[in-house]
Amino acid sequence: MASKSTPVSSQAAVSTVALFHNKDKAQAVAASVAVRRLLERERVTVRPATVDRAPSWLKDCDAAIAIGGDGTMLRIARLLAPAGVPLLGVNAGGLGYLSALDLDDFAREVKRVAAGRFVVEPRWMLSAEVRRGGRRVFGPGAALNDCVMRCGDQARAVRFEVESLGRFVAAYFGDGLVVSTPTGSTAYALAAGGPVIIPGVDALLLAPICPHALTQRPVVVPADHPLTVRLTRRNPSDRPQALMALDGQVSHRLAVGDEIHISRGPHPFKLLVPPERTHYELLRKKLKWAER
């Protein structure tokens, strides 16, 4: 079992950086050139990397920088977590909720980044695998935000049964179910009516998607209680179609009787953030929280 969430810690001075960017976005490509130039002025060695695989030299880096949007951050987080390399996000996409800085901010903050005056904020990740007839057919796969199980191509309601520690929790009938980390509570789970959970809280969030019941609401459970989610029939003649997706990027089709086993992942993701930033500030800035 991985360790529980821990407080932020100081980052050492940075001498070598892995630089990732979304090559499909012209803005990110241009920004990567500017970021590299700024870092090299601070005598930081920059090693370009691609978002599709972790390079063998990654563990030799003091930090990584991702240029893009939240999708880029999620993809790279899954690469970096096993290596233990902290990641700083520079937003060149849309919302950029996971990114600490915009490009203009980075130009002002590059000296502080190079000097190691940002802090490491650990974010624990989910691990999910699919078992069919007792045999593993998918995974284990990691997710920083969430594991989503939803109806398939026919857009018909599906039924999922959930167990925790071998005990029945609930049966959900509707469009699906989101199992989210605190980091992911501001993503799909929020749109499904779930609460915002501040990162560092040791909890999992279960949020039903469009449940066909007035009494089913999101529920928060301990993070160290593994979950088993099973796709079942509501009626003997049902042939439900369903899909499981990790962070909306890695997916697997589900069959009746499939079990999705979800637990805390073995490797936390390390996010680099300015020491003065608070999660409440981020909610106000990015999601316009508590504004009238």
Q: What is the CATH number of the domain that holds 280?
A: 3.40.50.10330
Structural domain contains residue 98: yes
In terms of Cα–Cα distance, which of 26, 17, 88, 27 is closest to 55? 17
- The number of distinct structural domains making up the chain is 2
Question: Residue 176: what pLDDT?
Answer: 96
Question: Residue 235: what pLDDT?
Answer: 81
Question: Residue 10: what pLDDT?
Answer: 57
Residues 139 and 20 in one domain: no
> Choosing from 24, 52, 62, 70, which is the catalytic residue?
70
Number of Cα atoms under 13 Å in the Cβ half of residue 57: 11
Contact predicate 59/32, CB 8 Å: no
Query: Does residue 24 have an active-site annotation?
Result: no
Structural domain contains residue 2: no
CATH number, residue 155: 2.60.200.30
Residues 133 and 103 in one domain: no
Question: Residue 100: what pLDDT?
Answer: 86
Show the beta-strand stretches assigned E in the chain.
9-10, 16-21, 45-49, 63-68, 87-91, 101-102, 119-123, 126-132, 135-143, 146-151, 158-164, 167-180, 203-211, 219-222, 227-232, 242-246, 250-254, 259-264, 269-273
Residues 244 and 159 in one domain: yes
Structural domain contains residue 1: no
Residues 130 and 260 in one domain: yes
Residues 220 and 153 in one domain: yes
Residue corresponding to tokens 């992911």: 184
Residues 245 and 273 in one domain: no
Question: Residue 2: what pLDDT?
Answer: 45
Range of the domain at 171: 126-264
Structural domain contains residue 57: yes
Number of Cα atoms under 13 Å in the Cβ half of residue 65: 31
- CA–CA dist 220, 207 (Å, integer): 9
Question: How many residues does the structure list for the chain?
Answer: 292
Structural domain contains residue 245: yes
Structural domain contains residue 17: yes
Structural domain contains residue 223: yes
Question: Residue 9: what pLDDT?
Answer: 58
Residue corresponding to tokens 């070598």: 16
Q: What is the pTM of this model?
A: 0.90
Residues 114 and 175 in one domain: no
pLDDT digits (tens, 9 = 90+) for 127-145: 999 999 999 999 899 999 9
Residues 138 and 87 in one domain: no
Contact predicate 65/19, CB 8 Å: yes
Residue ranges in the chain whose pLDDT is less than 70: 1-12, 93
Residues 135 and 179 in one domain: yes
- CA–CA dist 239, 223 (Å, integer): 32
Structural domain contains residue 254: yes
Residues 114 and 26 in one domain: yes
Question: Residue 4: what pLDDT?
Answer: 52
Residues 120 and 39 in one domain: yes
Residues 141 and 177 in one domain: yes
Cα angle 64, 70, 73 (rounded to 5 degrees) comes to: 25
